[in-house]
Amino acid sequence: MKNVIMLFTMVFFTIIMLNAAAPPTNLEISHDGTNVLLEWDAVTGFTTYQVYTCDTPYGEYVKDVSGTFPTPTSWTKPEPSQKQFYLVTVAGQDPVELGLAGDFVILTETGISTIPNSVITGDIGVSPNAASSITGFSLIMGPTGTYSTSTQVIGNVYAADYAIPTPTMLTTAVGNMRTAYSEAAGRIPVDYLNIGAGNLSGLTLAPGLYKWTSGVLLTTAVTLSGGANDVWIFQIADGITFETGASVILAGGAKPENIFWQSADIVALGTAAHMEGIVLGASAITLGTGATVNGRLLSQTAVTLDQSTVTQPTP
């Protein structure tokens, strides 16, 4: 995680808490009756920072856009009418660590099905369910018994009942998938809360940590605009629905391997819809006819394809 500084400020006193391996030093907060001013020393290797506020010390911190940065290492805003708690971090998110789950373009626990012909680039796997839960692929067992192949998969197919060491490898990968889901869901502080009331259609989203307390809907297109090293994490308390032809557009060098969709319910892509990024799903992921994904589909239940195309990110 990035370096984090927490500053608890009240009307009559200030408490500063540090929670980072190498946090900024010489942190100061001052009040002049009109404005509040936060100042800190730079962290080596970082030039931009973010400030978050909350009305309680253990509540949900949200990016405070009401202030300004007079210098890269100071921030000010009008004095609030009530006490506030402040949290300062270096700008930007770290990618979510996938572990062995990142070796799969599709990984599920209960099954993968396709209505032929789909085109999948990368390895796919199921665990703890057996190979019988991988349907529509006309699997051909490999010579070692550790994997199978399919004309619809440019890669290998793995299942929990294949020969050693496949079962152990898949157990680890699924464990890593669940850990990644929890890590993405638990990221704080939130940069943007309930943007568009869950409707992303027509929006352009900067890098950052987004949270919705509802589901997310896309009827047209959403643009993710940022650099090659920028990260987007979407925390979604319900499901994700892409209607027919809806799409994610990347701009400015944004890469699908740095985009994480954490969804607590069903992810459904309609006919010819297009998604970019890594889906971490607690429930099913379904792709309609001709839907496409540049990224990974990591589901704690099942993935369903219908003449779909799923392509893992280019290294």
- Residue 10 pLDDT: 36
| Average pLDDT of adjacent 10-residue blocks, the chain of 315 residues | 45 30 67 90 82 86 90 93 84 92 98 98 98 98 98 98 98 98 93 96 96 98 95 98 98 98 98 98 98 98 98 90
Instruction: Write down the residue that tokens 């669940």 correspond to.
Output: 178
What domains does the chain contain, in order, with CATH numbers?
A: 4-90 (2.60.40.10), 99-311 (no CATH)
Residues in contact with 103: Cβ distance below 8 Å, sequence separation at least 6, in sequence order: 123, 173
Q: Cα(217)–Cα(209) distance, rounded to whole angstroms? A: 18
- Residue 212 pLDDT: 98
- Residue 263 pLDDT: 98
Show the tokens assigned to 298. 């990591």
Provide the whole-model pTM. 0.84
- CB-CB contact of 313 with 95 (8 Å): no
- Residue 63 pLDDT: 86
Instruction: Write down the residue that tokens 């607690």 correspond to.
Output: 282
- CB-CB contact of 184 with 260 (8 Å): yes
- Residue 19 pLDDT: 30
- Residue 17 pLDDT: 31
